A and B are shown apart, each in its own frame.
Chain A
């Protein structure tokens, strides 16, 4: 009951809210027991190795994949409700467009199929890239095609923009151009963005929120600024060839032993006292440690976790 009031509160505080979400394919669970919240207005990076369930999650958020279990809400509205359709835009991995349509016709399609279409914004994005409006989409370069796909996504005026590895097939120049465009448009409109990517540096630059998946489960969710300080990189001398017992009081995400030296990624459960050298890891180091150790306990920063009390009432 209380859960309802927060999730459907004025303006929809949570752009995306998953409870026990799962999807099973014939070969097994692609995503299971996935619960998290993405506050509106954030730029969220979706991180995980191939097959972690990123595309499945984005597919469920865009109604392309039917959840096997659990619930997913966009701004408080269940994704099964067609009311959510005008609220999100999706840019898939291979950014499919009708190849025989001209750029202008592609934008007209956006106008014909979306109630809140913003033709001026879409045309501005296309013009800024010097994409000829009467060229067939099939004749454009990869970067130009991506720009048209972006224009189609932003012309929809979405509240939530979902991107599945949007820059993976672009050259560095086009990638930079698209990231700038994405950030500028998203910030200007206050659009919530969730983008999956393998480029950790790209994520570090653009995202202020992170959702880390591995083997179909949530490993970390929350503020990028809070996730990193929750970890410490500890270097020291081993005891009898293994980690010191004092360290195992804390949550050890990953550890490596080199001779008499050890290095461990630790989530401190209190002050780290010992004869160790403690340093703050980079975001990349934290992510890599979590991706290498899918069995480590999941970490949610406050707000990112779905309150179990609420989960029970729904």
Chain B
């Protein structure tokens, strides 16, 4: 009896809804940003599906010259798409991560929320949870779709797998990179407490990370070496490999630079080769089969960074006000 009346009164005062408490607040406050992200994800997803279908039509029309044709069939749409996907983590960091907490400190609403009956930590955890959740969802969906397109048709999509356009936009790397940069944006926002300043600093930081990342990328797995005779072709199984370095070598494994013994005449060249005992081509490479391991290693590093930044922000909030 008494429970019914309590239910009725609370039901009238605050209608029962699906989302409650801090989750309601975070969703209401960031409604516009989250809807934008949702819309963007849907549009880009459709765009990927559309481009994939177009490519299949094109290949069907040409009688599927998939293997060995070597002619890239990608157009402006493909490069636009890869550029957009590549920019997505930076955009999320600057427009979602940086203002996430900085806007509330700047406008005083952090004080408003944390003088209700919720602690700073609970509020931050809710905000970060939704922000990271949305980032992860959007990027995971886009990455999965792009991988689904790229993997079977990679031989006709011109770009090498270790280039940013592919490596950073497929598999776990896109979500991990987005999470790391967004977490960095949040941290910068917490430290600087100003929206515009943190957006600018986050942008600069994100560009620096992307630059560093392009240098780290090819060190994510140990390279392999292959040796084959000078006068033969590159073994076919290596056609999709990423060539790191190329030498010429002697039978007992001594290496010379690729340009060694490049002489004006063939005669002089052969004399040089014979004199040095060079008989083989030696190639240091990363195999396409290493891609998944490299992507997961890289994602692991980025996720560890994300966890460290998040822990810093959350633990700091217990001691220091926002």
Contact = CB atoms under 8 A, between A and B. Distances in A.
Contacts of B112: 92, 96-98
A26 to B, nearest CB: 13
A113 B319 contact: no
- Size band of the A side of the interface? 20 to 34
B111 A96 contact: yes
A97 B109 contact: yes
A63 interface: yes
B113 A113 contact: yes
Contacts of A109: 24-25, 28, 113, 116
Interface in A99-123: 99, 101, 105, 108-115, 117, 119-120
A78 interface: no
A108 B116 CA distance: 12
A88 B111 CA distance: 13
Interface in B13-36: 13-14, 20-22, 24-25, 28-29
A23 to B, nearest CB: 12
A96 B111 CA distance: 8
B111 A64 contact: yes
A66 B321 contact: yes
User: Chain B, interface size: which category?
Assistant: 20 to 34
B72 to A, nearest CB: 47
A187 to B, nearest CB: 23
Nearest to B113: A113
B107 interface: yes
A263 interface: no
Nearest to B108: A96
Given A66-B319, A66-B320, A120-B13, A110 B109 contact: no
Interface string A70-114: 000000000000100110111010101111010001001111111
Contacts of A119: 13-14
A144 interface: no
B83 interface: no
A63 B114 contact: yes
Contact of B321 (A65, A85, A98, A120): A65
B117 A156 contact: yes
B106 to A, nearest CB: 10
Interface of B: 13-14, 20-22, 24-25, 28-29, 107-109, 111-119, 319-321
